């Protein structure tokens, strides 16, 4: 049995140096990881822009205390007019429009009065006010997004605003989910005595999709060594990652461990001093990695969030791997009576984190209400109210 820390270290030690790359249109790259640094091909903004609807002014020669200017023209957004402004001139200007080269400042229209061709303002404008300088957001040639960056909607927007059409990203892994268990029935069928509805495959598939992984197939193995072995054998050939649900404990009908051994899958670790998810297996055959996730639904999902996400982030070259971890004050005292590291379903509130009821690994009712997992290390026996605890924010935790 190894510690949670050792298990995570083992995952981090895997070497994914030769990652496959692919080229995508920027708008198709949501959720992918950039395989190259991207430098700005143009200045942003590409020309001096007005930040307000109002008037561009050029100060009089030696001072800028003037409050009266001569209005000489108008420039709208999209106009390519570079008016030559003399000292004391003003130009009607709009937000996003190109400001004449020699304008010194923009004055908001709310602070101005126009009488015929005279612009009167009741204060002396500051040099550069309400103007966006060329390249002030990003200058041509400087780095817009680094290699390893996770593409979000706004990353797409930034690259689009730089005129970039295509990006190189790392390929996402092909994942096979294998579900074991004779008691499992898919929805749409009626339950017979002793049967339950199968859910882990859909949970894992949805959680993978949320990580940007679309190439996922699901297979079902009966609780026989032959069936388990055949299905794992085929998955090892067809996939980069195999996720197996259930059958990894010590019961007479838990065949996953033996099947993996028979198929020469090298064990990197088996059993972690944690609750839930103690009988977690991690191994490798050739270039394919295998996680055998304990079948209890909350154990399966906890192991996915703590270990599989860490692994996938590294596999796809994400420079930030694993769930975000923050220290938060706990809302009630907590006792760890298990001599194991606990991952507890929890809810982050504004100024604290609350451990939820129903922590059993066979129940997902608290997981459905959770937006975080609190990690209490095995050596911590008691946490007082208000003490800081390590809190892992679930992928949807910031939005619910
Ligand atoms: N003698 C011992 N028994 C058990 C130990 C142990 O150390 N000694 N460990 C327990 C722990 S901890 C866990 S976790 C489970 C893990 O067992 P398996 O990985 O072999 O999982 P199963 O037995 O196949 O299933 C456990 C539980 O979860 C339900 N299940 C499984 N798959 C699904 C699914 N796809 N959808 C919904 N529900 C599923 C299954 O019906 C069982 O109730 O072992 C303990 N036993
Ligand atoms: O470790 Mo098991 O996952 O408690 O139920």
Residue 140 CA to chain centroid, in angstroms?
27
Binding pocket residue ranges, ligand 1, CB within 6 Å: 179-181, 183-184, 196, 198-201, 245-251, 254, 276, 278-279, 294-297, 299, 361-362
The more confident residue out of 17 and 307 is 307
Q: Within 10 Å of residue 104's Cβ, how many Cβ atoms?
A: 19
Q: Within 10 Å of residue 179's Cβ, how many Cβ atoms?
A: 24
Indicate the CATH number for domain 4-19+171-315. 3.40.980.10
For residues 1 and 127, the answer to whether their CB atoms sit within 8 Å is: no
For residues 243 and 291, the answer to whether their CB atoms sit within 8 Å is: yes
Report pTM.
0.90
Q: Which two tokens stand for residue 52?
A: 């307000």
Q: Which of 231, 360, 248 lies closest to 294, judged by CA? A: 248
Q: What is the ipTM of this complex?
A: 0.97
> CATH 3.90.105.10: does it fit domain 21-42+142-170?
yes
Task: Kindly report which listed range (35-44, 77-86, 232-241, 384-393) carries the lowest average pLDDT score.
Answer: 77-86
Domain spans, the chain: 4-19+171-315, 21-42+142-170, 49-132, 324-393
For residues 327 and 391, the answer to whether their CB atoms sit within 8 Å is: yes
For ligand 2, the distance from its centroid to the CA atom of residue 295, given in whole angstroms, is: 9
Torsion, Cα 368 215 256 270, to 10 degrees, reads: -70
The pLDDT value given to residue 124: 83
- Return the bridge partners of 112, or none: 121
Indicate the CATH number for domain 324-393. 2.40.340.10
The pLDDT value given to residue 201: 98
Instruction: Assess whether pLDDT exceeds 90 at residue 60.
Output: no
**CA contacts within 13 A on the Cβ side of 165:** 0
Instruction: Assess whether pLDDT exceeds 80 at residue 64.
Output: no
Atom of ligand 2 nearest to the CA of 299: 3
> CATH 3.10.580.10: does it fit domain 49-132?
no
- For 55-72, b where at least 16 C-beta lie within 10 A, e where not — what string? bbbbbbeeeeebeebbbb
Distance CA 260, CA 258 (A): 5
Atom of ligand 1 nearest to the CA of 181: 24
For residues 27 and 156, the answer to whether their CB atoms sit within 8 Å is: yes
Tell me if 21-42+142-170 shares its fold with 324-393. no
Instruction: Assess whether pLDDT exceeds 60 at residue 155.
Output: yes
Q: Which of 292, 385, 288, 381 lies closest to 332, judged by CA? A: 385
For ligand 1, the distance from its centroid to the CA atom of residue 362, given in whole angstroms, is: 8
Compute the mean pLDDT over every residue in the chain, rounded to the nearest whole number: 95
By alpha-carbon position, which residue is closest to atom 5 of ligand 2?
Answer: 361
Find the angle CA(33)-CA(38)-CA(41) to the nearest 5 degrees.
Answer: 150
The pLDDT tens digits of the residues spanning 88-125 come to: 999 999 999 999 999 999 999 999 999 999 999 988 88
Distance CA 291, CA 268 (A): 10
Q: Which two tokens stand for residue 240?
A: 């980069």
Instruction: Assess whether pLDDT exceeds 80 at residue 61.
Output: no
For ligand 1, the distance from its centroid to the CA atom of residue 225, given in whole angstroms, is: 17
The pLDDT tens digits of the residues spanning 331-368 come to: 999 999 999 999 999 999 999 999 999 999 998 999 99
């Amino acid at each position: 049995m190894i510690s949670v820390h050792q298990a995570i270290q083992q995952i981090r030690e895997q070497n994914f140096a030769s990652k496959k790359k692919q080229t995508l249109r920027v708008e198709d790259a949501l959720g992918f990881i950039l395989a190259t640094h991207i430098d700005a091909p143009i200045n942003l903004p590409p020309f001096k822009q007005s930040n307000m609807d109002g008037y561009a002014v050029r100060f009089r020669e030696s001072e800028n205390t003037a409050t009266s200017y001569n209005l000489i023209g108008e420039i709208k957004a999209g106009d390519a007019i570079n008016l030559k402004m003399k000292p004391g001139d003003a130009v009607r200007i709009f937000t996003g429009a190109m400001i004449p080269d020699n304008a010194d400042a923009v004055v908001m229209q709310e602070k101005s009065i126009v009488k015929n061709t005279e612009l009167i303002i009741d204060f002396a404008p500051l040099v550069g006010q309400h103007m966006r300088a060329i390249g002030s957001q990003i200058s041509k040639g400087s780095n817009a997004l680094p290699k390893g960056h996770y593409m979000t909607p706004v990353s797409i927007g930034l690259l689009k605003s730089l005129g970039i059409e295509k990006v190189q990203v790392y390929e996402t892994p092909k994942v096979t989910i294998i579900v074991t268990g004779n008691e499992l029935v898919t929805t749409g069928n009626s339950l017979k005595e002793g049967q339950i509805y199968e859910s882990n495959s859909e949970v894992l598939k949805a959680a993978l999709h949320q990580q940007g992984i679309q190439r996922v197939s699901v297979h079902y193995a009966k609780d026989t060594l032959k069936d388990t072995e055949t299905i794992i054998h085929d998955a090892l050939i067809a996939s980069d990652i195999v996720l197996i649900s259930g059958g990894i404990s010590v019961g007479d009908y838990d065949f996953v461990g033996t099947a993996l051994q028979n198929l020469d899958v090298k064990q990197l670790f088996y059993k972690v001093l944690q609750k839930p998810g103690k009988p977690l297996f991690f191994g490798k055959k050739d270039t394919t990695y295998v996680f055998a996730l304990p079948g209890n639904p909350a154990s399966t999902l906890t192991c996915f969030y703590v270990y599989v996400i860490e692994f996938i982030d590294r596999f796809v070259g994400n420079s930030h791997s694993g769930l975000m971890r923050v220290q938060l004050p706990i809302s009630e005292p907590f006792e760890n009576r298990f001599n194991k590291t606990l991952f507890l379903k929890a809810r982050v509130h504004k100024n604290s984190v609350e451990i939820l009821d129903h922590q059993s690994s066979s129940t997902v009712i608290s997981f459905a209400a959770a937006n975080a997992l609190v990690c209490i290390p095995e050596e911590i026996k008691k946490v007082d109210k208000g003490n800081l605890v390590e809190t892992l924010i679930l992928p949807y935790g910031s939005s619910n």
